[in-house]
Structure 1
Amino acid sequence: MARLDPLPEIAEQAAYYGDGFLHNNIFWPMEHTKQMVAFYRQRFEHYGHGRADQAIVGLGGQVFVRKDSQKAWDEFRPYFDNAPVYGHGPSMEDFTRETPLTVGSPQQVIDRYAAFREDVGDYQRQLFLVDHAGLPLKTVLEQIDILAEDIVPVLRAEADKHRPTDVPSDPPSHADLVAKARAAGEATDLHVVGEDRWTGRRAEDDADETADAVTR
């Protein structure tokens, strides 16, 4: 297997428990994203939670959108060039080519993000970062409106149209996983409401122990 980045443990942990895996790929090229998602899917299947293509996956993303593509580039460039994180580094052209950052029209965002399924398979969640690069609140709120009105409904419809019927559209809830574990005889000791289904502990217990350790 090719080398993974320093956080394959997160994908491994999510796969072990049968949880969904959100790859926060906003600074990574698609080659890396494909590698991490493929690793998670492989381990999800290894632990018996279903086929690899049935694993619950989410991706990160960044956009700056205006109705006119050139206006989007002209407006966003000063913010990008001086952004606290990526300012004074790679050019906006390089960054939009090599990472999920997409600057342009709603259709350009739709085309690019709808195509991600070709690289990582059908996935269930798409996170958009819009409050970035020092954008003023008014602009951020405008971005949210464009996403809600022109982009997200189309992406959701495209995902539903292409997703196979035996690939879930929603991740299981904690209650779903507990019920599944109980049905399989893996959680016979879960008699306390709120108790963790794997360790038999509750978050409150850990908090109490931590407090005791601090006061000792």
Structure 2
Amino acid sequence: MRFLAITLIVHRPDPVTGVLVPTHERFREVRDNAVLAEELGFDGFGVGERHERPFLSSAPTVVLGHVAALTRRIRLFTAVTTLSLLDPVRAYEDYATLDHLSDGRLDLIIGKGNGTAQRELFHVTPEDQWERNAESYEVFRRLWRQDRVSADTRFRPPLEDAETWPRPYQRPVRVWHGSATSEESVDLAARYGDPLFSANVTHPVEPYAALVRHYRERWEHYGHDPAAIAVGAGSAGLYVARTSQEALAAYRPVFESNLAFQRSAGLPVVFETLEDFVARSSALIGSPEQVVDKVHRYHERLGHTVLHVTADAGGLPPARHRASLELFQSAVAPVLRRDIPDPPFAWAPVLPRQTPEPVPADR
């Protein structure tokens, strides 16, 4: 199993202290967390993309470019790249450049990922967002693989024998498809034989497991080898301590503050108590043995071989957050690496294909 630390660069008052750090300091935290993730042995570091409050992640290529300069080994993920909002040509140029600067350490997770505010900012509607996402991905994918591209597009000016520079380092870059609520994203991933990353954060496991089952069914429908499937999954929170009592006591102020924020913001509350949150969500809160057991139970439902945890303290004192990450890497990750296989591909730059890529079925 492989492990990512990710951030959406949320910028709101600390849920426990109420202190809002300056924007500059929040970015410095992201930088420091990326360096720490590599130091502790995480396999990847991910940065989200949002274009609305309370996020500072509107420019993930810039942030990951800086992280690339500070690290040497860890793979760099987007979580997620909102292709439904982006011009695929411009997205290609940005990410191809980043891929060169990082020596081929880039993986993309793409998705619709649209809140109301950012949809309105980019003039994207609920009715056309999935079509935009699919079209942008199909153009992006061809740009990465072909020296010249012609495409009769609906949502950007058509391309006619277009060249894009720089030409890519990885050939091709690996693209995961983020999946949260809709079958459209899992079908797009299955059609192209791409890996899937389940959000697995807001609700209990059942709706996410249903989408992963649908992905596996569509994968076989499109004629791909079931042995080549790769699934990643998120987690709703992380605090690993020596005992479950210590973990619950330390995390309770964070949970209760977040719960109060959800209620004040009019957001739906899924888990009313910390005990319910720990029992029924994907949060990894407890002793190392409890966390290992929970990941195993989720693996039985999702079959995932990549797991992401939060890179941010999120209300925990920084020293406690670091201690939790250290204990995760020393007492949890080694067991899961032994028990759960890696994805069915090398965790390394993608080498040029030696044979032509098959055309997806049902096109």
Please give the TM-score of this superposition, normalised by the length of structure 2: 0.43
Equivalent residue, structure 2, for 1:34: 209
Tell me by how many angstroms 1:54 deviates: 4.0
Runs of 4 or more off by more than 6 Å in structure 1?
171-174
- Equivalent position amino acid for 1:26 in 2: V
Q: C-alpha deviations, 1:78-120, integer Å up to 9, x for none? A: 1110027876651111212221113210010001102222222
Distance change >3 Å, CA 86–CA 20, structure 1 → 2: farther
State yes or no: 1:108 paired with 2:290.
yes
Tell me by how many angstroms 1:140 deviates: 2.0
CA–CA distance in structure 1, aligned partners of residues 246 and 282 of structure 2: 19
- Equivalent position amino acid for 1:75 in 2: A
Distance change >3 Å, CA 41–CA 10, structure 1 → 2: same
Matches within 5 A, 1:46-195: 46-51=221-226, 54-61=228-235, 62-83=237-258, 89=269, 90-121=272-303, 123-129=304-310, 131=312, 133-160=314-341, 169-170=344-345, 175=350, 179=353, 182=356, 184=358, 186=359
CA–CA distance in structure 2, aligned partners of residues 6 and 120 of structure 1: 15
Structure showing the higher helix proportion among its residues: 1
**Contact persistence 1:22–1:58 (CA under 8 A):** yes
Corresponding residue pairs, total:
174
Equivalent residue, structure 2, for 1:200: none
Please give the TM-score of this superposition, normalised by the length of structure 1: 0.69
Tell me by how many angstroms 1:183 deviates: 5.6
CA–CA distance in structure 1, aligned partners of residues 260 and 355 of structure 2: 43
CA–CA distance in structure 2, aligned partners of residues 142 and 159 of structure 1: 24
- Equivalent position amino acid for 1:74 in 2: A
CA–CA distance in structure 2, aligned partners of residues 14 and 159 of structure 1: 23
Equivalent residue, structure 1, for 2:183: 8
Q: Secondary structure at the match of 2:333?
A: helix
Distance change >3 Å, CA 182–CA 175, structure 1 → 2: farther
**Structure 2, unaligned runs of 5 or more:** 1-178, 264-268
CA–CA distance in structure 1, aligned partners of residues 273 and 205 of structure 2: 18
Q: C-alpha deviations, 1:23-65, integer Å up to 9, x for none? A: 01011212112101101111111112212x6411011113211
Equivalent residue, structure 1, for 2:198: 23
**Contact persistence 1:64–1:76 (CA under 8 A):** yes
Tell me by how many angstroms 1:145 deviates: 0.6
CA–CA distance in structure 2, aligned partners of residues 85 and 42 of structure 1: 40
Structure showing the higher strand proportion among its residues: 2
Tell me by how many angstroms 1:72 deviates: 0.8
**Structure 1, unaligned runs of 5 or more:** 188-216
CA–CA distance in structure 2, aligned partners of residues 130 and 148 of structure 1: 13
**Contact persistence 1:63–1:129 (CA under 8 A):** yes
Q: C-alpha deviations, 1:130-187, integer Å up to 9, x for none? A: 5254223222221211111110110110113xx9xxxx533798846x7276164x59
Distance change >3 Å, CA 180–CA 172, structure 1 → 2: farther
